[in-house]
Structure 1
Amino acid sequence: MNPVKRSLINLHLTVILLGGTALFSKLIALPALDITFGRSLPAFICLFIFAKFSGESLRLNNTKDYFIGIGLGILMAVHWMTYFMSMQYSSVSVGIIALFTFPVITVLLEPFFEKIKLNWQDVLSAVVVLFGIYLIVPSISLDNDVTLGVLVGVLSAFLYALRNLFHRQYFSHYSGAKAMGWQIMVICPCLIFFLDDKFISMDTHTALLLLCLGTIFTALPHAMVATALKHLRAKTFSLVACMQPFYGVVLAILVLNESPTIKTLIGGVLVISAAIYETINTHQSYKRENE
């Protein structure tokens, strides 16, 4: 098998694993904050070991980068917490679709970070996403758990978009595994003082699920991304990454017996279509700028 085909298969496996993280919001009977902490602890250890064996220094270049890493880590902490909260309020299907509003949110935020202007296609994408979210929301009331889950999911998407924009501008000179390792490491001291008593007294089954989430479903896919990008373009990775909601919904149906409504599925198709469009459009814009 040639390296490109192997990398593409590995990339799809990576996206399946990342989509599978959503399942743990239902499989682990802990608050979202505790799941986030339990995910982070083994994940950063594994990523640092991977970076070390890849021949990288674990140190950052300067003091400024350490402060940037801390800021990005705080954003990641709240993003992961709201990610799991969204699915605990509603369902895996609803939460993961709400999260994937982030490509369009990113495009809407970019003018505040870079010297670019919005075009009518971006505004149209935002309208499509809003309509997709409207289809998912059962009622305009915070008393409805699904509605609350959607809103928290969109907040998670906003935080993820912010983190990605700051990362691209100030932290992208580090490898993916090393950058993620530092950001995830920051999560642990941020959350340790807010852990629920249930975390301290968890049973062996819960501990094994958290270990599985932190290693196989978090550290491993981020290490696999670094390997896959050696043979694949960033555009290919971004497009395949848009399959994450599809894989997540399928896994939720198979593992958790979820039954997404037709309106949820239609809303999901609209949100993901907009995400794919913005991914393609973004890469074409960067290509034109660098020609």
Structure 2
Amino acid sequence: MRKAFFELHIAILLAGFTGVLGRLITLNEGWLVWYRLLISSVTMWILFSLTKKLQKISPKDILKLTGIGFLSALHWLTFYGSIKYANVSVALVCFASVGFFTALLEPLFFQKKIIAIEVFLGLIVIAGIYIIFHFDPKYKTGIILGIICAILLAIVMIVIRQFVQRINPQTLLTYQLTGGWLTLSLVMPLYIKWFPTSYFIPKLSDWMWLLVLAWFCSVLAFQFSVNALKKLTAFTVNLSFNLEPVYGILLAFMIYRENKELRWSFFTGLSLIVLALCFQMWRVWRQSTVSALGARTEYE
């Protein structure tokens, strides 16, 4: 159990490190995502084919996962765009609003009742982002991209649930990333036209960080989280991943000293967001504990 928790938090730390690497890589966000998807998908095809983890799925499912992959590619595009136009910390603060958009959008997709407390906590997160947006105008473009990034991720998380029960995670992610790379490749000519760049071949240092991003922050982080799921519940893993933006912001503070370039409004907004995340984690944990106790009492 202890090893599972260790692997889980290593996975979260690696996921949080993606923002730090996004600032290190000098490619623009379009080419950064294109290379990341290419390296990650090729690696997963080789790795999971050799270990026989890929299952056969229908052409219809492949098409759907390709569409989800395109949304994922747009999510990463806006995430790294947020970093380029603002910084790692601001991008990750916006990333933390995923829960709010999930609470709003999920009932629309599945015709479920909106949970008022989740919307309220999401509004606290949005209030935190607004404080930063209002008092730090230089980050406005980055914040807008960050919010779009959060909306896209919320949609991806909602629509991919229909596959989780019948397709294993290795197959899901491999087809998702491959679909993301293929669809992004199709729209790259338009992207280059709208956002021209002086170069698209990575420098030597860029290649190094791209490999770290793909192999460690994508493939290895995924493998650690799957290993953790063998010992821990999906609930525990999903709840723990709420710490990803917190880990990422702390890494940005330590590596880039971003805390020195941020104003009081950022820390006020961040405090509101962390407060909302902590309360949501406590609330869900408490509900899970009560449900488990109730089930045990019934059984006894």
- TM bucket normalised to smaller: 0.7 to 0.9
Q: Work out which of the residue numbers 13, 28, 31 in structure 2 matches 1:31.
A: 28
Return the TM-score normalized by structure 2: 0.85
- The alpha carbon displacement at 1:55 in A equals 3.0
Q: Residue in 2 aligned with 1:248? A: 248
1:152 corresponds in structure 2 to 145
The answer (yes or no) to whether the contact 1:104–1:274 under 8 Å persists in 2 is: no
Q: Which residue does the alignment assign to 1:265?
A: 267
Choose which of 159, 163, 169 in structure 1 pairs with 2:162.
169
2:100–2:123 contact (8 Å) kept in structure 1: no
CA-to-aligned-CA distance 1:135-167 (integer Å, 9 cap, x gap): 221459xxx440111111111000000001000
CA-based RMSD:
2.6
CA shift digits 1:35-82 (9 cap, x unpaired): 10111111112223343344323431x122011111110100100000
Does structure 2 retain, via aligned residues, the 8 Å contact 1:51–1:58? no
Higher helix share goes to which structure? Answer: 2
Percent identity, aligned pairs only, is 24
Q: Which amino acid aligns with 2:241?
A: A
Aligned partner of residue 243 in structure 1, secondary structure: helix
User: Which of 14, 22, 38 pairs up with 2:11?
Assistant: 14
Aligned residue-pair number: 284
State whether structure 2 residue 175 is matched by structure 1 residue 182: yes
- Report deviation, 1:242: 1.3
Q: Which protein shows a greater Rg?
A: 2
Aligned residue for 2:298? none
The answer (yes or no) to whether the contact 1:83–1:95 under 8 Å persists in 2 is: yes
Q: Which runs of 5+ in 2 are unaligned?
A: 296-300
C-alpha displacement at 1:261, in angstroms?
A: 3.2
Preserved CA contact (<8 Å) 2:66 2:183:
no
1:51-130 superposed matches below 5 A: 51-60=48-57, 62-130=58-126
Which segments of 5 or more consecutive residues in structure 1 lack a partner in the other structure? none
The two structures have a TM-score, normalised by structure 1, of 0.88
Q: How far off is 1:208 after superposition? A: 1.5
Distance 1:127 1:172 in 2: 31
CA distance in structure 2 between the aligned counterparts of 1:172 and 1:278, rounded to whole angstroms: 25
Cα drift, residue 209 of structure 1: 1.4
